[in-house]
Amino acid sequence: MASANTTIHQPGLNPTPQGARLASFSALTLRALRDARVRTIAFAYLFGLYAYIQPVGYRSAYPTLSDRVAFARSFANNKAVRLFYGEPHDLLSVSGYAAWRVGGTLAIFAAIFGLLAAVRALRTEEDAGRAELVLAGLVGRGGAYWAAMAGIGMGVALLWLGEFAGFVLGGLPVGGSAYLALATVSVVPVCVGVGAVASQLAPNRRLALELGGTIVAGMFLLRVVADTTSGVGWLRWLTPMGWAEELRPFASERPLVIVLSLALSALLLCAGAWMSVRRDVGTGVLAARDSSEPRLGLLSSPIAQALRAERASLMVWMIGAGAFGFVLGVLAKSSSSAGISQSLNHELAKLGSGSIVTPAGYLGFVFIFFVLTVSLFGCAQIAAVRHEESEERLETLLALPVKRNGWLAGRLLLAGLGAGAISLTAAAFTWIGAESSGLSISLGKLLEAGLNCLPVALLFLALASLAYATVPRACAGIAYGIVALTFLWDLVGDLLGAPSWLVKLTPFAHIGLVPAQAFRAADAFAMLLIACVLSLAAIWMFSQRDLIGE
């Protein structure tokens, strides 16, 4: 008979320290995947749907070989098309077209997914104080870091599966579909690494996103220059988006190129892990100085203070829009000339794009992407508003003689003015780029094209503010989701053969492509009116609800 002091060991009741750490690591990995489930499922659905639409739509639009030959001749050397989709390798086959159109577009979305996933899993958890609680347990900082990366890795697998399924359902070969989906998602681990490093360098989530976003934008810009400028194709080898293109699915595949993505991903992820265990929780490697001379500017009111807090972010958006606008302006003359026939306009229309037959038509077409950029800026501003509330800074501010209605109205006004500044900056630098390349185009017309971005952007800002007033915890996801889905529908609605009234449900369909087309005053007025009504509703509903923390 065992004595009273004898400990009886039973399997599973007293795990070893190593087993407990492994169980904790697995739990953190699954939690990271579960926390990102909405974003991951949304991206996987987007990838699958887009992968299915393109081959099906191409077969419908170009059923015969002669149709495809005419299409390939129209698009073969057009730089405007390469700007967004990359260099085509085989436009005579459905699979070659899908590799070009889907690979070029989804590589951009893959980069965004990777950056958002890393910053959310690392910096957001730390800023909210949850990471500190996790580190009080059995898992150390290195273990928590790699658990988050493992959770993201599972999400990337779901992304690949969604795209692969879309290609197969669209009638592409199974093996080639798997390789094409792999080429697209090969961008994700690199951008996860970028986000991981940015999360260690920056002292908060907002700056991590902006730092990482700047690097990702630079990757895209390198790919654009490589695909649209003669003699600098070698630049494609300096960016992961170029590597995805050089994998060449369905066209002389180069599978060894993926080693570059794997190597850079490993380097960045290991660098992020090294930094994560060598800095204090809640800080960044590039933390702000402990002391500095007092600066009292822009502290006269809540709105002035908001401008003070957001001015760095606004400058990043303006610099990015200006740089991209300059590149587009430089390319405008060569992209819309040299071999472009009137038939190209018809081919673009069949694929859900606009006209680029003339320089003005090209600029009107590309300004759609500035509309998207300014709309996303509005979403970011609402996310910043929500961040102030979740961190309880707003609660402190409202304890002062500050009215809720006035505060939110001021923030919406500030976001609207920021959107206007970004739009005009993009227009001005596009004009500078066009003039530098010898293209004579009116500055006034391009400024009008910049202002043409505002009705849609303000409408999305109002929708985002309404989401903030009603479901604050989910407002950022709702805002970004609405913008992404409506923009995607504008791109593929016509290609799917949807009825005209259904295609026009997206606000992007109601934009006049200035300077090629006239400004649609009636549509713009209607969108601004709806935006005003929704903003007033959001302000009122915000005044009626309690403040909600994280």
Residues 65 and 210 in one domain: yes
Residues 276 and 309 in one domain: no
What 3 state SS string does 193-237 have?
Answer: HHHHHHHHHCCCHHHHHHHHHHHHHHHHHHHHHHHHCCCCHHHHH
3-state percent helix, strand, coil for the chain, nearest multiple of 5: 75, 0, 25
Residues 338 and 204 in one domain: no
Residues 316 and 255 in one domain: no
Residues 202 and 342 in one domain: no
Please indicate, yes or no, if residue 292 is contained in any of the structural domains: no
**CA dist., res. 66 & res. 487, Å (int):** 31
**CA dist., res. 416 & res. 374, Å (int):** 10
For 543, the token pair is 């005044």
Nearest to 212, CA basis, from 128, 117, 321, 83: 117
Nearest to 110, CA basis, from 162, 178, 67: 162
Q: Determine whether 215 is exposed, middle or buried from the number of CB atoms within 10 Å of its CB (0-12, 13-18, 19+).
A: middle
Please indicate, yes or no, if residue 139 is contained in any of the structural domains: yes
Span 282-320, pLDDT tens digits: 677 776 555 556 666 666 677 887 788 788 788 888 988
Phi/psi of residue 128, nearest 5 degrees: -80, -10
Q: According to the model, what pLDDT value does residue 9 have? A: 44
Please say which residue of 287, 314, 329 terminates a domain: 287
**CA dist., res. 464 & res. 16, Å (int):** 49
How many residues in total does the chain contain? 550
Residues 94 and 112 in one domain: yes
Please indicate, yes or no, if residue 14 is contained in any of the structural domains: no
Please say which residue of 262, 287, 312 terminates a domain: 287
Domain span at 53:
22-287
Please indicate, yes or no, if residue 394 is contained in any of the structural domains: yes
Please say which residue of 229, 252, 287 terminates a domain: 287
Q: Which residues contact 57 (CB under 8 A, 6 or more apart)?
A: 351, 492, 495, 496
Contact 465, 538 (CB under 8 A): yes
Contact 97, 89 (CB under 8 A): no
Please indicate, yes or no, if residue 231 is contained in any of the structural domains: yes
Residues 316 and 282 in one domain: no
For 382, the token pair is 């609402």
Q: According to the model, what pLDDT value does residue 344 have? A: 46
For 2, the token pair is 């065992």
Look up the pTM and report it: 0.76
- CA separation, residue 287 to residues 131, 144, 391, 408 (Å): 18, 22, 19, 30
| C-alpha 301, offset from chain centre | 33
Residues 307 and 197 in one domain: no
| C-alpha 406, offset from chain centre | 31
Please indicate, yes or no, if residue 207 is contained in any of the structural domains: yes
- CA separation, residue 406 to residues 297, 306, 318, 449, 470 (Å): 21, 13, 27, 31, 18
Digit-by-digit pLDDT tens for the chain (550 residues) are 444 444 444 444 455 667 777 777 788 888 888 888 888 888 898 899 889 988 988 888 788 888 788 777 766 556 666 766 777 888 888 898 888 888 888 898 899 999 989 998 888 777 777 777 776 666 777 888 898 999 999 999 999 999 999 999 999 999 999 999 999 999 999 999 999 999 899 887 878 888 898 899 889 888 888 887 777 888 889 999 999 999 999 888 899 999 999 999 999 999 999 998 888 776 777 765 555 566 666 666 778 877 887 887 888 889 888 888 888 888 777 655 444 444 445 445 544 444 455 677 778 878 888 998 999 999 989 988 888 888 778 888 777 787 888 889 999 999 999 999 999 999 999 999 888 888 888 889 899 999 999 999 999 999 999 999 999 888 888 888 899 888 878 877 766 667 778 888 899 888 888 887 888 999 999 999 999 999 999 999 998 888 876 6
Residues 278 and 371 in one domain: no
User: Residue holding tokens 């991590």?
Assistant: 208
Q: According to the model, what pLDDT value does residue 351 have? A: 45
Nearest to 97, CA basis, from 57, 156, 146: 57
For 341, the token pair is 């026939």
**CA dist., res. 146 & res. 266, Å (int):** 12
Please indicate, yes or no, if residue 10 is contained in any of the structural domains: no
Q: According to the model, what pLDDT value does residue 292 have? A: 56
- CA separation, residue 450 to residues 327, 371, 436 (Å): 16, 8, 19
* Amino acid making up residue 201: L
**CA dist., res. 19 & res. 22, Å (int):** 5
Contact 391, 476 (CB under 8 A): no
Q: According to the model, what pLDDT value does residue 550 have? A: 62
Residues 57 and 203 in one domain: yes
How many domains would you assign to the chain? 2
Residues 339 and 215 in one domain: no
SS3 68: helix
Residues 272 and 305 in one domain: no
SS3 189: helix
Please indicate, yes or no, if residue 15 is contained in any of the structural domains: no
For 449, the token pair is 């094209």
**CA dist., res. 457 & res. 372, Å (int):** 8
**CA dist., res. 36 & res. 159, Å (int):** 12
